[in-house]
Amino acid sequence: MHPFSYTKVSDLAGALAAGRRGGRYLAGGTMLVDLMRESVERPSVLVDISALPLGEITATAGGGLRIGALVRMAEAAAHPSVRAAFPVISQALESSASAQLRNMATIGGNIMQRTRCPYFRDVTAACNKREPGAGCAALGGFNRAHAILGASEHCAATHPSDVAVAFAALEANVHLLGPDGERSVALADFLLPPGGTPQREQAARPGELITAVEIPAHPRPLRSGYLKVRDRQSYEFALTSAAVALHLRDGVIHQAKVAAGGVGTVPWKLPAVERLLIGERPSQALWAEAAERAADGARPLEHNRFKIELLKRTVERQLRVVGDLAGGTA
Amino acid sequence: MSRRAVGAPLSRVDGRLKVTGQAKYAADHPADGVVHAVIVGSTVSRGRITAVDTRAASALSGVLKVISHRNAPRLAYHRNPSSNNPETGERLRVFQDDRVRFRGQPVAVVVATTPEAARHGASLVVVRYDAEQPSTDLAGAPASAPVTYARGDADLAVGSAAVRLEMTYRTARNHHNAMEPHATIARWDGGRLTVWDKTQWVVGTQRELAAVFGVELSAVRVISPFVGGAFGSGLRAWPHVTIAALAARMVGRPVKLVLTRGQLYSGTGYRPAYEYRLRLGSDRRGRLTAMVHDIRAETSSYEDFRENVLAAGQTLYSMPHVRQTYRTVPLDVNTPLYMRGPGHVTAAYVIESAVDELAHELGIDPIELRRRNEPAEDESNGMPFSTRRLRECYTVGAREFGWERRAPEPRSTRRGDWLIGMGMAAGAHGTVRNPAQARVVLDARGTALVEAATSDMGPGTYTSMTQIAADALGLAVRAVEFRLGDSGMPRTPAHGASQTTASVGSAVQDGCDKLRRQAIELAVGDRRSPLHGVDARHVTVSAGRLHVTADPARGETYQRLLARHGRARLETLGLFEPGESRFSTAAYGATFAEVAVDHRLGLVRVLRMLGVYDAGRIISPKLAESQALGGMVGGIGAALLERTITDHRDGMIVNADLASYLVPVNADVPDLRAIFLEGADPEADPIGVKGLGEVVHIGVAPAIANAVFHATGRRVRELPITAEALL
């Protein structure tokens, strides 16, 4: 661990000023402090933003939700509006980390979460994300947990978040506040695939702060749920996961939102699956046919080939589970 | 009459200290002026150190010294076979040369006034290497000459058997991963060394430090009153113990050294990975005729670590023909060490899986097959068993678990997306006994202090010894204090191999018996005692009072007796010296598991487990149950989760933390139940115990693996069983 200074800010202006001077924002600290201990992160100034007024969950006009960046994972999971409108968010959160971590970690921090790639987390290994141009030890190493989708020749690290997969499925937006004011970016555009710059993980500008994640309104009733496949039953990252939200009208699927986790360098939206579902009536055959497209474009590495089949089965399973909720499978 | 303490379900006598944070673990001991040390580990697995640049670290405020092979004194490193160092090879000599033998090997240590400065300093030490390509993969690597065993002609017998099976099983490297990290505080007072250490054997660590530093045994004192779990990792004094003592000597102040979780993966041992080929032959009725075991296990390049992986193949089942070869494979890794049920766990996984495969092949119930192969004597040496109640374990287990509900055909029970299966496996662990001593002191208040240099890594030594002493002295449990964990106390063997209760407990029993008899003799020979003239054999002590057995009203208390004699205390030394036994003695167990396997997603859920044990007398039932549950939880880990993964390109362990080395969490642990067959084994030792800590873990993983097969019809011959193996 390297020496650093610590300052706590009480308002947004103070935070932005400290951020502009190069300070690193600290919220729950459940990831950044870990990485500092391993010398993976070496910030010289930590700006504690936990006292900022970003801890509210509010309904938006039209039926969406705005979740403040500093809402704790546990709070968001338990919030009645979240549970009522978007069970997929609650379920994703509740399948994340441990109860202790969920009590500390925030929604904004969760999106900013860095990968669990062991070569990223060990400073003696080659990692382009940590040290651009150093090479990637994972591509030829133990890459069972790595991405089959969205990888480049420079990096195949997965984005580890569960709730970001739910957010991606629901086409959430990220609200940012920076020196140049406020802006809103689609989560799909905010989290960046590695390409040639794996060190750049988000489309945030220097000093910018996440203020909220906004879930747009979706037609009601929306049935949704999250399935996480993992080696142990709690406190473990996904091998594969699926976030599914369906809206049926007169027995026909009018809206389908599907994303996958554990398989992509970013939360992986599955538009090909969604397209096959819309306008169709639920059936086992439909789920299977749609899920067959879940791994389109997948490029496996030595140890994660199984994820292609596992992803398809995960999506198929969760389509069935949510489909049954949404009005039954013929 | 007071109730007996032995057999009563007492809570831990040290429980309050533990849950209130007052129990002092290795790093908790105060030492005036203590400074902090952090190890720099090598980043290559094999090669030579060409440069150690300590300038940046040394310049850091608070850093007192950076030690490496460049400036460390030469240490004596006398030969020491008596601290669980492997018989063959030479232990790692810290900072004595430029050679790197494994990744993570200590190449420098930074000593500073604060832990933060030491840790920061350690990250600033730049070490350069002339690296060589390491060999870290057991698969395909050349092995050393085998240890062998043979009876009959197993190759011929397998070849001519009516039914032949041949399988190769693989098990992953497992790390102990106890909650408490290894830690050492070392202090020199002139030529005398005091060390507070996480160890399962203060005497072993004492001997090792005396040998390493070339000082008299009496100049070294090792203290370890509490151990936060160990599972075997505390059975050797690891290099960091030497480093703490060396650093303390070089800076002239007490030094505290705590390994990080990551450093535990290379700084302490582990259960080695195995490749285990088994060929077996049987007749059509399932009577085994022969087994051929060809075993390969990893070890380090500098020490030949071996464990008892051969016993199960020789004694678990009756068969005329057995041949075994056990080869170790030297690799550029650190040396393995005993981990709960060492050797037996691996052998039981293989043999119990294979027997299950044979049962399926022949269409015979797996329990019935085992019954047909139950030996009448120990076929490895012709000795009779003192007690072997494995058949009872099967009967009780089958009844209590509902084995009759198990459909014989695999993959025949389905609940929704889940396939349900039941499996079972047997386990045995030979009872280990070694010489031990215990001091017993009864004071004028009528309370007793019992001491022995043993350890309590969790099974409840404090509690069980207190129970034994209380009954033998005729005292209430609260009138007895048991102390352990100081090399100045009477000698005991290592706290491992399930030998503590048998060995130390027998010494405690002996010391307390002697003391009780001494008090009785004092009373019956004393004209002023109401017991004067009574035959000593007719005097009993209960609740601290000596009295005529047949006339409880006639007697007096220990206090009165001692007060009248002006004695501040009575003191005895209890001894246990196991003699040559005419019997083969072991603890036995049968473990049952029911699992659900998601047939599409490859997920395994253990639904419930039951262990039934023939372990002799149970001293402390509540803690025995805890130990059995822990053994089952560990087995769930070994079966489904635990594996240390090495990147063989450079020897890096890629999951050296508890987020990625998976152990079971509460959600993975279902309803567990333990049953102990009532009884005692009088041939085992004076208190009739056969050992428990190992046997409750042996046979758990194969029970689960067999249940997975029964659920799915798919036989996975590798541990842990992962999702991809079941897709």
Query: Smallest Cα–Cα separation from B583: which of B475, B685, B462, B503?
Result: B685
pLDDT for position A326: 83
Cβ A232–B668 below 8 Å, yes or no?
yes
A chain contacts of residue B727, beta-carbon cutoff 8 Å: 306, 309-310, 313
Q: List Cα–Cα distances, B534 to B77, B249, B525, B538, in angstroms.
A: 59, 61, 8, 7
Q: Does A1 touch chain B (CB under 8 A)?
A: yes
Task: Burial-class residue A5 by CB neighbours within 10 Å (0-12, 13-18, 19+).
Answer: exposed
Instruction: Return the CATH number of B342-427+585-726, one of 3.40.50.1950, 3.40.50.2300, 3.40.50.1110, 3.30.365.10.
Output: 3.30.365.10
User: Which residues of chain B lie closer than 8 angstroms to A231, CB-CB?
Assistant: 640-641, 662, 722-723
Distance from CA of A83 to the nearest CA of B (A): 23
Contact between A232 and B645 using a beta-carbon 8 Å cutoff? no
Q: Mutate which of A35, A306, A314 to disrupt the B interface (most B C-beta within 10 Å)?
A: A306
Active-site residue, selected from the candidate residues B132, B379, B694, B718? B694
B649–A141: do the CB atoms touch at under 8 Å? yes
Instruction: Please name the member of A2, A309, A316 whose beta carbon is closest to the beta carbon of B727.
Output: A309
Residues 227-266 of chain B with CB under 8 A from chain A are none
A239 touches chain B (CB under 8 A): yes
The per-residue pLDDT for B439 is 98
CA A168 → CA A185, A216, B145, B224, B287, distances in Å? 12, 11, 58, 53, 60
Choose the closest CB to B724 out of A3, A39, A306: A306
Mutation for testing the B interface, residue in A98, A231, A241, A306 having most B CBs under 10 Å: A231
pLDDT of residue B2: 53
d(CA B379, CA B315): 6
Determine the pLDDT at residue A328.
60
Angle at B434 between CA B428 and CA B438, to 5 degrees: 125
> What CATH class has B15-21+434-576?
alpha beta
**CB < 8 Å from A in window 26-45 of B:** 43
A142 contact B CB<8A: yes
Size of chain A in residues: 330
| pLDDT for B1 | 40
Spans of chain B below 70 pLDDT: 1-2
> In degrees to the nearest 10, what's the CA dihedral of B574, B579, B583, B586?
50
Nearest residue to B597 (alpha-carbon basis) of B722, B455, B484, B443:
B722
Which CA distances in Å does B100 have to B47, B88, B132, B305, B655? 5, 19, 10, 19, 21
User: Is A116 in the B-facing interface, judged by CB distances under 8 Å?
Assistant: yes
Domain locations in chain B as residue ranges: 15-21+434-576, 31-133+179-229+234-267, 342-427+585-726
d(CA B551, CA B538): 10
Q: Is B572 exposed, middle or buried (0-12, 13-18, 19+ CB in 10 A)?
A: buried
Contact (CB, 8 A) for B278 and B351: yes
Measured between alpha carbons, how far is residue B173 from residues A303, B350, B351, B721 in Å? 18, 15, 19, 13
Task: Please tell me the distance from the alpha carbon of residue B59 to that of residue A246, in angstroms, as a whole number.
Answer: 62
- Chain B neighbors of A316, CB-CB under 8 A: 600
Asked whether the beta carbons of residue A239 and residue B727 sit closer than 8 angstroms, the reply is no
Q: What is the DSSP letter of B3?
A: P
Chain B CB contacts of A41 below 8 Å: none
Residue B157, H or E segment = helix B154-159
The matching CATH number, chosen from 3.40.640.10, 3.30.390.50, 3.40.50.2000, 3.40.50.10800, for A223-325 is 3.30.390.50
| Helix axes of B344-362 and B700-712: crossing angle, nearest 10 degrees | 30
Q: What is the pLDDT of residue B218?
A: 98
| B104 to chain A: closest CA residue | A124
Q: Please tell me if residue B679 touches chain A, with a CB cutoff of 8 Å.
A: no
B694 is catalytic: yes
Nearest to A121 by CA among A44, A3, A36: A36
Contact A232 B666 (CB under 8 A): no
CB contact under 8 A, A2 and B123: yes
* Shortest CA gap B607–chain A (Å): 13
| Amino acid B406: pLDDT | 98
CA distance B66 to B106: 12
Residues 703 through 722 of chain B touching chain A, CB cutoff 8 Å: 722
- Chain A hits for B723, Cβ within 8 Å: 229, 231, 239, 306, 310
What pLDDT, on a 0 to 100 scale, did the predictor assign at position B375?
98
- Who among A3, A306, A314 is closest to B120 (CB)? A3
* B309 contacts: CB under 8 Å, gap ≥ 6: B274, B295, B297, B326, B343, B344, B346, B347
Output the six-digit token pair for A47.
């700006």
Q: Which of B600, B666, B716 to mutate to test the interface with A (most CBs of A within 10 A)?
A: B600
Distances (CA, A) of A304 to A140, A156, B603, B660: 12, 11, 16, 16
Of A1, A236, A313, the CB nearest to B120: A1
The answer to whether the Cβ–Cβ distance between A310 and B123 falls below 8 Å is: no
A4 Cβ under 8 Å from any chain B Cβ:
no
Q: Do A314 and B601 touch (CB under 8 A)?
A: yes
Q: Which CATH class is domain A5-51?
A: alpha beta
Domain ranges of chain A: 5-51, 223-325
Query: The tokens of B242 are what?
Result: 């030497």
Q: Does domain B31-133+179-229+234-267 correspond to CATH entry 3.30.365.10?
A: yes
Residues contacting residue A318 through CB under 8 Å, at least 6 positions apart: A225, A226, A227, A242, A243, A244
Task: Spell out, as residue ranges, where chain A has pLDDT lower than 50.
Answer: 330
Nearest by CB: A233 against B600, B667, B722: B667
Of B476, B603, B639, B618, nearest to B542 by C-alpha is: B476
Instruction: Enumerate residues 6+ apart whose C-beta is below 8 A from B273.
Output: B138, B170, B171, B172, B173, B297, B298
C-alpha span between A157 and A118 (Å, rounded)? 9
Burial class, B65, CB count within 10 angstroms (exposed 0-12 / middle 13-18 / buried 19+)? buried
The distance of A1 to chain B (nearest Cα, Å) reads 5
Which chain A residue lies closest to B41 (C-alpha atoms)?
A: A124
Residue B188 has which token pair?
């020199």
Chain B residues with CB under 8 Å of A141 CB are: 647, 649, 654
Cis peptide before B720 (omega within 30 of 0): yes
Q: How far apart are CA B469 and CA B375, in angstroms?
A: 37
Chains A, B: CB pairs < 8 Å: 72
Measured between beta carbons, the chain A residues lying within 8 angstroms of B724 are 306, 310
Q: Is A263 on the interface with B (CB under 8 A)?
A: no
Angle at B187 between CA B184 and CA B192, to 5 degrees: 125
The string of pLDDT tens digits covering residues A160-201 is 999 999 999 999 999 999 999 999 999 999 999 999 999 999
B417 and A116 within 8 Å at the Cβ level: the answer is no
Q: Pick from B509, B508, B515: which is nearest to B446 by CA?
A: B515
Q: Distance between CA B105 and CA B95 in Å, rounded?
A: 10
Residue B643's alpha-carbon distances to B238, B323, B348, B670, in angstroms, are 22, 29, 18, 21
SS3 label, residue B646: strand
